[in-house]
A and B are shown apart, each in its own frame.
Chain A
Amino acid sequence: MPWELSESEFRAPAGADRLAAAIRRRAQALGRPVRLMEVCGTHTMAITKAGLRGLLAPQVRLLSGPGCPVCVTPAGAIDAALALAARPGVTVASYGDLLRVPGSQPGDTLLRRRALGAGVQVVYSPMEAVALAAADPARQVVFLGVGFETTAPGTAAAVQEAADRGLANFTVLCLLKRTAPALRALLAAPDFAVDGFLCPGHVAAVTGAQEFAFLPQEYGLPAVVAGFEPADILYAAYRLVSRLDGGAPALENEYTRVVAPQGNPAAQAAVRAVFAPADSVWRGLGAIPQSGLALRPAWRGFDAAARFGLELRPGAEPPGCRCGDVLRGACTPGGCPLFGKACTPADPVGPCMVSGEGACAAAYRYGLTEE
């Protein structure tokens, strides 16, 4: 094929121009805009930071799916975290991004509660939350366990560590999600129109690339497990349009330097030991069977919902907010009436504007609509 280049050339930024041109050309041959979806917040950020959308438009449209863990956490879960933080003697330990997400009441965030004196602590890892609990036995430390398969092993390890140390004051509010069931739910929606998937390299590093084999096998869609350098993403997009333009749909692993076909067995074992798949509510997508992880009965003592008698409700979505549609690729950030007006990174209404990895925040921060 005239523009079939070697992989190493595609990795070098010097080849980016040619690669982008090759992608556009192959997409052009299909005679319609090609819609590719990434389902990882790190991909969202990498794409916007490198300005890849503009490089591939208009022949290829890159859409952001439900890949930002903060964005898919429902308002009801935030309400539960806010309620926990309001209890005397409780410290809520959380990744920083979650602190700015409003619950059902606009403007009510963990950041605000902290400013008013609530026990809210930013941590970079679940183990830090375990250390907080160990250092202050008089306080109950609740770790907000958000994220996908990538953060689940660390959360599992933290629970095991807390058990080993006999900590009676550490629990997890388990909001962990699984990627594949959410993709199935997206694909089942009648208005869902995507030509191929950029699959999340970090998730696949844990689960194995095979986790995404169902996309070509059951849905006839090409899928490429991709890394996070701009050239990784361009190369993955090139493979996807190549598959669409005359190739057969298949799963490819572009991120072989990190992702093994079977993933990381030790991480999988830790997750399996502590968590079991469970139904879960996603912001914008609703309840999806088996799309979350819950603590197994043997670990119930570390379940914040059980210890504090919490019932997770879906919670109210902010009026007018279209984050749900954005997460499904049914609406671009700019298509939301609140975008850039009532909803900005300084005063976010919906979760996609809160997280640095959210599609709306990325579009607002880095978007150049004219290009």
Chain B
Amino acid sequence: MQEIITLDYGSGGVKTARLIEEILLPAFKNTALDSLGDAALVPGGAQLVFSTDSFVVTPWRFPGGDIGKLAVCGTVNDVCMAGGDPRVLSCGLILEEGFPLDDLRAIVESMARAARQAGVQIVTGDTKVVERGKGDGVYINTAGIGVLRTPGLGRAALRAGDAVLVSGSVGCHGAAVLAARSGLPGGGALRSDCRCLRDLSAAALDAGGVRILRDPTRGGVATTLNEFVEGGPLGIELEESALPVDAPVAAVCDLLGLDPLYAACEGRLLAVAAPERADAVLAALRALPGGEGAARIGAVTARRPGTVALRTALGGSRLLPKLTGAQLPRIC
């Protein structure tokens, strides 16, 4: 049977990884790409960080944000996670025939607002219009360039005993978008955590001892942590009782049969930090808006290399593998 693209390939999980490893990496092979971080270091010693992301979320406006804010924050955050200080963005718009101009204005204003708050400028762009039925209203691609502020972040820096930290409660964005889409009663209590992570990441890096930063978007916390350790000599153990999950998020996930650990965040960062610096990093995060709920959720360990395990509140253990298959339709 001929292989075709299904929605699973866009989930950020196992099939997305397969697409990248089997089709994209062999074709584009180079050392800057090989690290597979949220952003790449521009080769040639220019000390630049470069990233791109596309946004297809539906509905385009959701509680706590919209596709414009998401498109700016998403790419800004990717640059920050690679240790960069974001400076400029591009904006590529793909618009469907029939899309209301008022909606486009609202989206662009939201992008401008988010860019101002993130301290970046949108300096180049492109616009395409496709026939009705060939798009879904609006798609946005952004690329971002930043100046490297903290070199040396990455999987290779991890050590057994390191602390795993998260800047706040998990799964808010995924749960909010799905609740908005399905019109769930009680879903109104949910808001996306969509926010720019520039200040939080800078504070974490300045506190010292940070080995790696990532924002757990598609695939959620569980999938991102797997990417930290898969194929390597170390594993991660999480404590279920230490994981911050807001009650409405837990309730919606329960109702929809989702796991908050696999639901996307758009304004949280995961940090692995040296054990002796973990408290300082946590304090730095907690001192900032959006980081009040920062928590130590687990540790890097030499047990079970390559895997992420969860110690449950009852004292049992289970594996947390990467997401397989799309949980549900487009959320970022």
Partner-B contacts on A (CB < 8 A): 13, 16-17, 20, 48-55, 96, 100, 105-108, 111-112, 114-116, 122, 124, 230-231, 234, 344-346, 356, 364-368, 370-371
Residues 314 to 332 of chain B near chain A (Cβ within 8 Å): 314-321, 324-325, 328
Bound complex: CA of A114 vs CA of B317, how far in Å?
37
Q: Is B123 an interface residue (CB 8 A)?
A: no
| Pairs A–B under 8 Å by Cβ, sample size 30 | A13-B313, A13-B314, A16-B314, A17-B315, A49-B318, A50-B314, A51-B311, A51-B312, A51-B316, A52-B316, A53-B316, A54-B316, A96-B328, A105-B1, A107-B1, A111-B8, A115-B7, A116-B4, A230-B313, A231-B314, A344-B14, A346-B8, A346-B14, A346-B18, A346-B324, A346-B325, A356-B257, A365-B319, A368-B317, A371-B317
Interface size, B (range): 20 to 34
Interface contact A112-B257, CB-CB below 8 Å:
no
Bound complex: CA of A142 vs CA of B15, how far in Å?
30
In the bound complex, residues from chain B placing their C-beta under 8 Å from that of A346 are: 8, 13-15, 18, 324-325
In the bound complex, residues from chain A placing their C-beta under 8 Å from that of B27 are: none
In the bound complex, residues from chain B placing their C-beta under 8 Å from that of A96 are: 328
In the bound complex, residues from chain B placing their C-beta under 8 Å from that of A54 are: 316-317
In the bound complex, residues from chain A placing their C-beta under 8 Å from that of B1 are: 105-108, 112
Residues 1 to 47 of chain B near chain A (Cβ within 8 Å): 1, 4-8, 13-15, 18
Interface contact A366-B14, CB-CB below 8 Å:
no
B264 CB → nearest A CB, Å: 17
Interface contact B6-A115, CB-CB below 8 Å:
yes
Q: Is B91 an interface residue (CB 8 A)?
A: no
Bound complex: CA of A13 vs CA of B309, how far in Å?
20
Interface contact A51-B15, CB-CB below 8 Å:
no
Interface contact B314-A51, CB-CB below 8 Å:
yes
B165 CB → nearest A CB, Å: 23
Bound complex: CA of A365 vs CA of B304, how far in Å?
15
Q: Is B182 an interface residue (CB 8 A)?
A: yes
Bound complex: CA of A366 vs CA of B316, how far in Å?
11
In the bound complex, residues from chain B placing their C-beta under 8 Å from that of A124 are: 182, 256
Bound complex: CA of A364 vs CA of B323, how far in Å?
12
In the bound complex, residues from chain B placing their C-beta under 8 Å from that of A112 are: 1, 4, 6
The 7 closest A-B pairs by CB, nearest first: A51-B316, A345-B324, A366-B318, A16-B314, A346-B14, A346-B324, A51-B312
Interface contact A230-B314, CB-CB below 8 Å:
yes
Interface contact A367-B316, CB-CB below 8 Å:
no
Chain B: CB-nearest residue to A371: B317
Interface contact B312-A49, CB-CB below 8 Å:
yes
Residues 162 to 212 of chain B near chain A (Cβ within 8 Å): 182
Q: Take A107-B1, A115-B5 as given contacts and tell me if A345 and B325 are in contact as well, using a CB distance cutoff of 8 Å.
A: yes
Interface contact A50-B7, CB-CB below 8 Å:
no
Residues 260 to 316 of chain B near chain A (Cβ within 8 Å): 304, 309-316
In the bound complex, residues from chain A placing their C-beta under 8 Å from that of B316 are: 50-55
In the bound complex, residues from chain A placing their C-beta under 8 Å from that of B13 are: 346
In the bound complex, residues from chain B placing their C-beta under 8 Å from that of A20 are: 314-315
Interface contact A365-B314, CB-CB below 8 Å:
no
Bound complex: CA of A297 vs CA of B96, how far in Å?
48
In the bound complex, residues from chain A placing their C-beta under 8 Å from that of B310 are: 51
Interface contact B8-A366, CB-CB below 8 Å:
no
A363 CB → nearest B CB, Å: 10
